[in-house]
């Protein structure tokens, strides 16, 4: 059985967050989605649990990161092309996200990202297939 990853992120308004990511083309597993959590499906083994802040707080004794002033992590997902990277960032911005940086072109690798409605940073990256061994 393949190892699965469940990234847990706190959100201020769960329904707005679900609507935002649905606009980007992601689906949610209804079995693990309720009024406190939304299980966003990235792939067969990658899931993002969007948790209301009070529910998220039950899993940690630490304060929730203020994403207006701090970065908690960079969530980076692969894309199939440079055009796909640009398209997903454009969709995100149209749905209310911000793109705080210009696209980064490193020759064999191209990336661009956005901050979602709660300030979580999402990066999408395309790597030239000839660069991957």
Q: Cα–Cα distances in Å, from 60 out to 10, 26, 74, 122?
A: 11, 27, 20, 23
Radius of gyration in angstroms for the set of CA atoms belonging to the chain, rounded to a whole number: 15
First to last CA, the chain: 24
| Average pLDDT for 93-117 | 97
Q: Do domains 1-62 and 65-133 have the same CATH topology?
A: yes
DSSP H/E element including 85: helix 82-94
Domain limits, the chain: 1-62, 65-133
For the chain, percent of residues with pLDDT exceeding 90: 92
**Which DSSP symbol is given to 128?**
-
**CA dist., res. 60 & res. 42, Å (int):** 24
Confidence of residue 56 (pLDDT cuts 50, 70, 90): very high
Question: Which pLDDT score, from 0 to 100, does residue 76 have?
Answer: 96
**CA dist., res. 15 & res. 17, Å (int):** 5
Q: 1-62 adopts what CATH topology?
A: 2,3-Dihydroxybiphenyl 1,2-Dioxygenase; domain 1 (3.10.180)
Question: Which pLDDT score, from 0 to 100, does residue 10 have?
Answer: 98
DSSP H/E element including 30: none
Confidence of residue 129 (pLDDT cuts 50, 70, 90): confident
In this structure, CATH architecture of domain 65-133: Roll (3.10)
């Amino acid at each position: 059985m393949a190892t699965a990853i469940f990234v847990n992120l706190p959100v201020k308004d769960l329904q707005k967050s679900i609507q935002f990511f649905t606009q980007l083309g992601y689906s949610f597993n209804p079995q693990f989605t309720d009024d406190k959590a939304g299980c966003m499906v990235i792939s067969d083994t990658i899931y993002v649990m969007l948790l209301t802040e009070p529910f998220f707080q039950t899993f940690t004794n630490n304060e929730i990161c203020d994403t207006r002033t701090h970065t908690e992590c960079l969530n980076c997902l692969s894309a199939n092309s440079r055009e796909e990277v640009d398209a997903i960032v454009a969709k995100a911005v149209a749905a209310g996200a911000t793109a705080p940086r210009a696209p980064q072109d490193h020759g064999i690798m191209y990336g661009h990202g956005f901050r979602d409605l709660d300030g979580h940073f999402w990066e999408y990256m395309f790597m030239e297939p000839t660069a991957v061994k």
